[in-house]
Each structure stands twice: as C-alpha cells, then as structure tokens.
Amino acid sequence: MKIGILSDTHTKIKKAQETLEFLISEGAEFIIHAGDIVEVEILELLKNCSKRYIAVYGNNDAHLSAYHGKYNLVQEPYYFKLADTKFKLMHLPFYMSADAEVIIFGHTHQFEIEFKKGVLFLNPGEVCARNKPLSESAMLDVQKDKFIVNYYTRKKKESYKLEKTYSFERIQS
C-alpha cells in the first residue's frame, strides 16, 4: 500500500494542494498529514482529495478543534493499523518510543528517516518551504517484507523530484 505523507503546510494552501496532487499522481492510496495544518482550506483539500486520509493536530492547530467532527483529525499520539501495519502518528516528536512499526512525526521542518530495531521513524519534512527554499513530502510503500520510502522535494516553480529512495527489510514476528 502506498501512503502519501506530508507535514507542516502552515498557511501555504497552494503548496499543500500541489503536494497532494503530486502524491496522488504517484499512486498514493492513503494520505497522512503530520500536523501544523493551520488552514481549514487544507482540511478541505484532504477531505476532497478522493483518498482516505488522517491528520494529527500540530502545535499551531488548536483553532481547528472547532472542526474536529467534520474532518478526520486526531490527537497525538494516535495509533492505528493500516496495511497490516501498526502506526503511531504525532506532530511533536515527544512520543518516540518504539511501540509501533511505523512512527510518523513532523514539527522539525526537516526530513528525517531512521530504521532501528524493526521500527521506521519518518518525518516527511516541510511543505511550507519556511526553513529552506523547497517543499518536501514522502511516499511510504508498505509491502509484506519491506518498507520503501521515496523522499521528494520541489523548488519554487519546478516539479517535484525524487531525491532518494530508502528500503528497509521488515522484521517478521
């Protein structure tokens, strides 16, 4: 299963839309937003993107609680199962214990990936291009025997490009 992952969109509605469209064009079957959504319009983009999605509140999203029942918004840490895989989703990297197979977080505005003792830790980086002149996102392909992560970047007025592909063999229990 291919899972499109984005985070830290902040006020950048157009960048969020371009990122969602790109991830879907690359085959995303499910979308995860790792927080700091900020704008209701971005929640609308998620809701209307034709894919199932989940979004976690970030430290800049308290005002979005007024829309909690309308969108698939969750509080951190949020555990769920997808593609026979246990996930933990959060914005702030405070709940980093290895108690799921995939741990997704945001907040730092930096792409991070680590595979430690059978657990994948993944931060897709920032969509908003606040800390650097590019937007970032990731695609996680959950396969029976491995995780494949594609890391994408996009400079202003350019198309998204694949920066690097990572592959990790899953530990079968």
Instruction: Report d(CA 132, CA 146) in Å as an integer.
Output: 31
Instruction: Encode pLDDT of 21-53 as tens digits.
Output: 999 999 999 999 999 999 999 999 999 999 999
Give the whole-angstrom CA distance, residue 11 versus residue 170: 36
pLDDT tens for 60-84 read: 999 999 999 999 999 999 999 999 9
Contact (Cβ atoms closer than 8 angstroms) between residue 125 and residue 137: yes
Condensed to tens digits (0 to 9), the pLDDT of residues 86-141 reads 999 999 999 899 999 999 999 999 999 999 999 999 999 999 999 899 999 999 99
Mean pLDDT (the chain, rounded): 96
